[in-house]
Structure 1
């Protein structure tokens, strides 16, 4: 009898652990981009500290400059992240669109655009972007997390 009780308790415990392992994130993951450019490094640091207005300032500055396309892509990708974090989803998507136009293989920009779409409630557009980012960078943590989020929803 006691052995049956212990076995039943162990089985129930296993079910509980399994159910907890299947929980899903509720928020998408963004990918920040850092380069050797001083303004983009400052923008990246602002993003990591959730200093959104400062990140937006640096992003606009670099995006409007004569910086190389790779530098502008990084700044626009981070700008997209910052806009989405402040709830400015249309601006976020525009920034990510501009980054992806400059560099079609910019997986961070495509991932972040998907995250902005997700937060704006357009899950279909988000899933399209998450899948496109996965084609470019399937092994990246943010991409895997967002694909998982899309499957849970």
Structure 2
């Protein structure tokens, strides 16, 4: 089912595009403060921030132009609730904040696992399928470790990028 353009949505759609343009400008300003000295492969550290800024600017301009010439077309009906699910938002926010607070204490793997477990609780809560049984916590913890450990090892071992670990071995 598609949603037809409504005159009420055009200002919001224009605002989204304008927000993207402003974000692109802010990112470009930030990219201009990064060193442009060429590094490995002849590309400086400001290359990707500039690429992202330019791509975001193009998307923002296209969104504004699209919104001003009839609005976003062929939008599917939203699948979410009319109102925000605050309990789910709190679970996910707690996961993100605890991850940021504990990453240097627990290390990357365990703090990201905690973030995953709490985020799952939030998303399941929003679906009305919250499971607070110990079995669900253990299952989600194992999945979180299975996702975060290879990411940690790839960054630390393959790319030689330092991420906070629980031990000094480089494996946890």
Q: TM-score normalised by the shorter chain: which range applies?
A: under 0.3
Q: With structure 2 as the length reference, what TM-score do the two structures score?
A: 0.24
Is the radius of gyration larger for structure 1 or structure 2? 2
Q: With structure 1 as the length reference, what TM-score do the two structures score?
A: 0.27
User: Greater share of helix residues, 1 or 2?
Assistant: 1
